[in-house]
Amino acid sequence: MAEDKDNKVTADYDKVFVMPEEYHGVRPDQPREVVREKIITKTKIVRKKSRALPMVVIFALFITVSLLSYIGYLTYFKPAPEPEVIVKVVEPEPVVVEPEPEPEPVVVPSQEFDPAKIEPIKLSEMFDVDVDDDGLTDAEEFLLETDYQRPDSDQDSYLDGVELENLYNPIGSDPARLEFSGLVSTYVNPTFDYDLFYPKGWFARSVDPKNSEIVFSSPMNENVSVLVLENTAQLTLAEWYSVQIDEAEANIVEFENHNNMKGVRSPDEFTVYFARGEYIYVIDYDIGLKEKASYPHLFELLVQSFVFTGQE
Ligand SMILES: [Ca+2]
Ligand SMILES: [Ca+2]
């Protein structure tokens, strides 16, 4: 049997009553005001306690939620570390500057003239026009009155040029020999004992009283001269030539004419040399400033017909 706070008995079932906490320490003999004051004080304490607990719980929850939130943030929203920016410093390749090649030194040709090192223009490279290609230029055929359009003017199977070179008459067989054809004259040098043929129409004259230099002039202002020089040491032609002309011996060309006279030719073929005793005989063809030789085969006529006379 128990009573509720209104002291009403409830008999239906057993009830356990506990003295409220505010009555703890209250004795029944205490005056009512004191009891009342204690109860009020304890009630306030209890209320304060009852109010403080939720605040602690809420605060704890707040802390918990905050921690969880921070952990979640770190877990899911932690910003990925920024990629390490590797700054690769590329050093520029060194620029290789090729040094400019030094200019080739300008070779100044020596002022000394060395004819042996100069390849001359040969007479055979300067022949004038030869229409019928018979070995005589047109100018020579006009002078000799051969047919400049017929290689074999006298139809004897020998070309005009071949006949003249061999001292035969190119315009007939009677006379067969050139010296009797009337196409050439014979020059005789009484001082130095030689003679030779020169073409008709040419003029022969002695430059000096001793006949040491004879000039044969052509109507084309081309001349052939025969000059006699002293050779007291009686050098051979090769020796004399190398000393006088100061050219290499190998540059001269030995030859033998139709009178079996042995001589040498200059490299340019414009000069021929013969030797006898104390003299050198120089036969020289001069075309002046002309670029073409009109009478090269007539010059050759003088050379081929040259012969020593008298006693050495
Ligand atoms: Ca001809
Ligand atoms: Ca002929």
The CATH number of residue 144's host domain is 3.40.1000.10
DSSP character for 282?
E
- Residues lying with their CB under 5 A of ligand 2, a single-atom ion: 152, 154, 156, 158
Q: Is the pLDDT of residue 311 over 90?
A: no
Q: How far is the CA of 307 from the centre of ligand 1 (A)?
A: 27
Domain count, the chain: 2
Q: How far is the CA of 134 from the centre of ligand 2 (A)?
A: 9
Q: Is 160 exposed, middle or buried (0-12, 13-18, 19+ CB in 10 A)?
A: buried
**Is 301 a member of any domain?**
yes
Q: How far is the CA of 218 from the centre of ligand 2 (A)?
A: 24
Average pLDDT for residues 285-300, to the nearest whole number? 96
Q: How far is the CA of 149 from the centre of ligand 1 (A)?
A: 7
Instruction: Determine the Cα–Cα distance for residues 201 and 36; give it in Å rounded to an integer.
Output: 185
When pLDDT is cut at 50, 70 and 90, the band that residue 43 belongs to is low
pLDDT digits (tens, 9 = 90+) for 81-99: 666 767 677 777 877 778 7
Q: Is the pLDDT of residue 75 over 70?
A: yes
Strands 223-230 and 279-286: antiparallel
Give which of 230, 229, 204 is closest to 215, Cα–Cα. 204
Q: How far is the CA of 203 from the centre of ligand 1 (A)?
A: 23
Q: Which residues are paired to 279 by β-bridges?
A: 230, 276
**Is 86 a member of any domain?**
no
Least confident of 9-23, 28-42, 290-304: 9-23
146 and 271 together in one domain: yes
Q: How far is the CA of 69 from the centre of ligand 2 (A)?
A: 135
150 and 267 together in one domain: yes
Q: How far is the CA of 309 from the centre of ligand 2 (A)?
A: 30
**Is 147 a member of any domain?**
yes
In this predicted structure, what is the pLDDT of residue 183? 94
**Is 162 a member of any domain?**
yes
Choosing from 43, 76, 109, the residue where a domain stops is 76
**Is 108 a member of any domain?**
no
- φ and ψ at 270, to 5 degrees? -90, -10
Ligand closest in space to the Cα of 129:
1
**Is 185 a member of any domain?**
yes
When pLDDT is cut at 50, 70 and 90, the band that residue 1 belongs to is very low
148 and 251 together in one domain: yes
Residue 241's H or E segment, with its range, is helix 237-244
In this predicted structure, what is the pLDDT of residue 125? 96
Q: How far is the CA of 151 from the centre of ligand 1 (A)?
A: 6
In this predicted structure, what is the pLDDT of residue 244? 73
146 in Cβ contact with 153 (< 8 Å) = yes
When pLDDT is cut at 50, 70 and 90, the band that residue 102 belongs to is confident
300 and 209 together in one domain: yes
Question: How much of the chain is in helix, strand and coil states, percent to nearest 5?
Answer: 30, 20, 50
153 and 47 together in one domain: no
**Is 113 a member of any domain?**
no
182 and 298 together in one domain: yes
Average pLDDT for residues 176-194, to the nearest whole number? 94
185 and 281 together in one domain: yes
Expressed as residue numbers, the domain containing 56 is 2-76
**Is 16 a member of any domain?**
yes
157 and 282 together in one domain: yes
Average pLDDT for residues 269-283, to the nearest whole number? 96
Q: How far is the CA of 42 from the centre of ligand 2 (A)?
A: 174
Q: Kindly provide the residue ranges of all beta strands, DSSP E only, lying in the chain, ordered along the sequence.
A: 2-3, 9-10, 184-189, 194-199, 203-206, 213-217, 223-230, 253-256, 262-265, 271-276, 279-286, 307-308
138 and 261 together in one domain: yes
Instruction: Determine the Cα–Cα distance for residues 115 and 245; give it in Å rounded to an integer.
Output: 9
